[in-house]
Amino acid sequence: MPTPSSFLYAGAALALLPAVGARFLTSAPAPQPAATTAAVSRPVQGAQPDPQVIAQFGLLGNAKLQTYIDQKGMQMGRVSDRPADVKGFTVVDSPIINAFATPDGHVYFTRGILAYFNNEAQFSGVLGHEIGHITARHGQKQQTRSTIANGALILGSILSKRVASLAQPASQVVGLGLLKYGRDDETESDQLGVKYSSKIGYDPASMADFFLTLSRTEQSSGAATVPTFLSSHPNSADRYTNVKKLAAQAEQQAGRQLAVNRDQYLRLIEGLPYGDNPREGYVENSVFYHPDLKFQFPVPQGWKSQNSPSQFQMAEPNGKAVQILLPAGNKGLDETAQALAEQLKLQNAQAQKTTVNNFPAIVIQGDQVGQDQQTGQQGITASTLTYLIQDGQTIYALVGLCGPGTLGTYGSTFQRTAQGFKRLTDASKINRQPERIRIKTAKAGQTLASALAANGISSKRYEEMAILNGMKTTDKLTAGMLFKVVGK
């Protein structure tokens, strides 16, 4: 959640609705049935990224990486089966390990997935896979089957469907086509990824190797973590073997050894932010801190949370309540309160002026009226308790939503969170900096574990670093071999 100036406002009535409701996306595919003949080749034009995607993820300010991805993407687009369908390429500022293609033909890579690639060939394989989803037009097939997910909340897998529908008015849904591909589509995109990657000179077997890295990240992270590439691109036991076979055939057809380019890629990602960026807000010991905006508030004990450039969400573990922090513009408390009540369609809304740790505030309580997702009938769909808190010219909304009649259960939790909103003054929290990828050089006789130890990495993080490097801790490194560590 960055500075207020980066949030999208749409007038007083929409001031409480950020452009999107999720930091991570499952893969969002592209248009129409697959073709068997190639389109007339033309250079791919670097189209602008979707503003809604950028509002959701944020742009990564790394000109060197962006230029690299533009060049490789345009090169691959030109040799694809439908060059005119491939529109552009963008690196977004998300720690989630994902790559996706939107229905307009744009491919996005998160900085999270870029950190886990260990050579240019791995990147090229995933690039080819995503371009394959575009050129095979898997997106429209999925949309015509009505499989678009409702992206009401970023915590979708954690929250119950009921609360997801309750929270929808407070987290404007964008039509990005949050789709999961079936095995047939995945197999076809794997085939196209091998084809396109080898066409521009890279060893497509590396794409299969990267699947192993992705599987290790999911196994190590546990079931409660946010989705990654494999969540939106279903894996299968034989997928690795199939891609390896296809890659061997492609290399044989190429009649030459195809490139891997490990060192070139590792040098390219030197300094790339790794993991969550604390400058955009972070949770530590059940407290949310925002160093740049200089505020903090407690996160209810045991609740799941997720941060994004547009909002911060907290959810009761069983999906029975959600509390969302979002920017509410600068129109003044009274006008904003009225806009909120209208936007959330509150019935019998009661508003009361108060202060929260010396910040002017308004508390709004009411029942949300709408159509019940399960019965289809009009009625009360949620109980709400919201605090509008003014910090200088900026107003923040802490919107609490729970099932009808359950405010007695969750209202005190909403209240404690909001009343804990206060100025952040702790210098150690304010000065927190992100970790970054650092490229190191191995000495003769080192294993990965001993090389990590020599670079000050805690033994608790050896397995994490091994996965990041696509290695095992016991692997022996050769003198001069490059490898990744993370540090400030």
The DSSP letter of residue 480 is: T
Looking at the structure, do residues 48 and 162 belong to the same domain, yes or no?
Answer: yes
Looking at the structure, do residues 470 and 393 belong to the same domain, yes or no?
Answer: no
Looking at the structure, do residues 348 and 422 belong to the same domain, yes or no?
Answer: yes
What average pLDDT does this structure show over 313-320? 87
Looking at the structure, do residues 372 and 292 belong to the same domain, yes or no?
Answer: yes
pLDDT of the residue at 216 = 86
C-alpha closest to that of 296 among 398, 181, 198, 442? 398
Structure tokens at 346: 């509150």
Give 142's pLDDT tier (boundaries 50, 70, 90): low
Looking at the structure, do residues 310 and 442 belong to the same domain, yes or no?
Answer: no
Name the domain count of the chain: 3
pLDDT tens for residues 100-110?
Answer: 888 889 999 99
Q: Mean pLDDT, the chain, as a whole number? A: 80
Looking at the structure, do residues 141 and 244 belong to the same domain, yes or no?
Answer: yes
Query: Rounded to whole angstroms, how far apart are CA atoms 175 and 426?
Result: 40
Lowest mean pLDDT among 52-61, 136-145, 182-191, 317-326: 136-145
What average pLDDT does this structure show over 23-34? 29
Looking at the structure, do residues 138 and 71 belong to the same domain, yes or no?
Answer: yes
Backbone angles phi, psi at 273, to 5 degrees: -55, 140
Looking at the structure, do residues 161 and 135 belong to the same domain, yes or no?
Answer: yes
Q: What is the CATH number of the domain that holds 480?
A: 3.10.350
The dihedral formed by the CA atoms of 422, 425, 431 and 433, expressed in degrees to the nearest 10? -20
- Count of residues for the chain? 488
Query: Rounded to whole angstroms, how far apart are CA atoms 114 and 269?
Result: 8
Q: What is the CATH number of the domain that holds 292?
A: 3.40.1000.10
C-alpha closest to that of 107 among 172, 33, 189, 170? 189
Give 146's pLDDT tier (boundaries 50, 70, 90): very low
pLDDT tens for residues 273-285?
Answer: 998 889 889 999 9
Looking at the structure, do residues 40 and 166 belong to the same domain, yes or no?
Answer: yes
pLDDT of the residue at 224 = 34
The residue from 272, 287, 305 where one domain ends is 272
Query: Rounded to whole angstroms, how far apart are CA atoms 106 and 29?
Result: 9
Q: Is the pLDDT of residue 44 over 50?
A: no
pLDDT tens for residues 169-214?
Answer: 333 323 333 446 677 888 888 899 999 999 999 999 998 899 888 8
Looking at the structure, do residues 319 and 412 belong to the same domain, yes or no?
Answer: yes
CB contact set of 45 (below 8 Å; sequence gap of 6+) = 87, 88
The residue from 215, 245, 272 where one domain ends is 272
Q: Is the pLDDT of residue 311 over 90?
A: no
Q: Is the pLDDT of residue 306 over 60?
A: yes
Residue entry with tokens 């000179």: 201
Looking at the structure, do residues 162 and 78 belong to the same domain, yes or no?
Answer: yes
State the residue range of the domain holding 460. Answer: 435-487
Looking at the structure, do residues 358 and 334 belong to the same domain, yes or no?
Answer: yes
Structure tokens at 180: 């999961």
The residue from 408, 430, 452 where one domain ends is 430
Give 373's pLDDT tier (boundaries 50, 70, 90): low
Q: DSSP 3-state helix, strand, coil percentages of the chain (rounded to 5)?
A: 35, 25, 40
Q: Is the pLDDT of residue 269 over 60?
A: yes
